[in-house]
Structure 1
Amino acid sequence: MQPMEIASYLMVVVYVISFLAMSAILAKEAGRPVWLFGKGAERQALPALLFKLAFAGGVLWPLGLAAFGNPARADPLTAWLDGPWFDVFGHLLVVIGACIAIISQRFMGASWRIGAAVGEQGPIVDGGPFAISRNPVFVGQALLFTGLFIVLPNLIQAALTLALFVAIALQVRIEERVLAVSLGAPYDDYRRRVRRWVGKR
């Protein structure tokens, strides 16, 4: 791998470690488990599987790529998107995405959850990054994976990025239903004020 590719990969690894460590810290602060993918009436198995696949692949696939090369010898994505300017732009997205995601996760404090279940959600967090996006953690993760794909353009990385996007799209809709039931009118008001991805109404 080239230096910029290595730097981007290491940033992804640092983010994944930070995500897991921060989740443990926030669970301790809240005094309760934060993993809700197996709880509640909502079916979250598919997004949970896709998230695991995307993040595990994001950590392991670049190592395989560096060690054994791309198994798709004539990978069109590599030919189209490879180059130093793509690497710089992709690395910038990786860094920005990781920072947005981890800062937003920390900002949630005791309300941080992985997954959603009725009655298990903390109070609404509507300040900081959540004042301009209802899902800044997901926005950051999407930017991170988009950047990694631009730095390491290949069909497998594209599939991992797509898996993350599908997981986010499915999980956001599940969480919106759960939050509407759990938090009622305050959440409805928040949803009217702040857009799902970026911007105020």
Structure 2
Amino acid sequence: MSKTEIAAYLITLGYVGAFLFLSLKQARASGQPVWIFTRGSRSQRLPALLFKLGFAGSVLWPPVRALLGGEAAFGMLSGLPGLMLTVSGAGLALWAQLHMGRSWRIGAAEGESGAIVDSGPFAFSRNPAFVGQALLFTGLFLVRPGVVELVFALAVLVAIALQVRIEEGVLRRDLGVPYLTYQRRVSRWVGRPC
């Protein structure tokens, strides 16, 4: 593995470790479980599976690939832009998770929504944690543009697209007018509301 690949892998390990640690900490602080994929609708099964594939793969595949002697990459893209996306994505996702505090959930289930968080990164995106994860996995693919890395990145991007729509429906039903007002004011991703 190149130095850039090692750096991206260490950032990924750090992000996944921090994500899990903060989720556990936030569950203890709120007195409620934060993993609620299994409490939500059956439509969350596919996004949950895709997230697990992407996250577990990004942690487990690089050492396996190194032990096996690597694989053919699509071409040598510059690793620096990918590394910058990886760092900024991990940072944004962790900032959003920290900022949510007791409202942090993984998945969506009616009656289990936290309070609306509309400050910090949530002032410019309704889904900054997902935006950060999308940047992170896109960056990982750019650092090492291989077939397996593409599969992991696409798994996470598809999971994000599916999960956001599910969560928005749950939040509209749980939080009503305050969420609709927030939805009109802040974009789903970044920028002007859509």
Structure 1 stretches of 4+ moved >4 Å: none
1:124 is matched with 116
Structure 1 residues 158-173: aligned runs within 5 Å: 158-173=150-165
Identify the residue that residue 47 of structure 2 maps to in structure 1: 47
Task: Find the aligned partners of 1:28 and 1:111 in 2 and give their Cα distance.
Answer: 12
Question: Secondary structure at 2:39's aligned position in 1?
Answer: coil
Deviation string, structure 1 residues 103-134 (Cα, Å, up to 9, x no partner):
10000000000000011001100000000000
> Does residue 103 of structure 1 match 2:92?
no
**Aligned pair 1:64/2:56, yes or no?**
no
The residue type equivalent to 1:50 in the other structure is L
Classify 1:178/1:42 alpha carbon distance in 2 versus 1 (closer, same or farther; 3 Å): farther
Give the superposed CA RMSD: 1.1
Residues 104 and 130, structure 1, Cα contact 8 Å, conserved in 2: yes
Q: Please, which runs of 5 or more residues in structure 2 have no aligned partner?
A: none
TM-score scaled by length of structure 1? 0.93
* 1:65 Cα deviation after fit: 1.4
Note if contact 1:8-1:148 (Cα within 8 Å) is conserved in structure 2. Answer: yes
1:1-201 to structure 2, matched below 5 A, reads 1-71=1-71, 75=72, 78-80=73-75, 82-83=76-77, 86-201=78-193
In the aligned structure 2, how far is the partner of 1:33 from the partner of 1:99?
24
Q: CA shift at 1:12, angstroms?
A: 0.3
Paired residue type of 2:23: S
Percent identical residues:
55
Read off the aligned partner of 2:68 and give its amino acid letter.
F
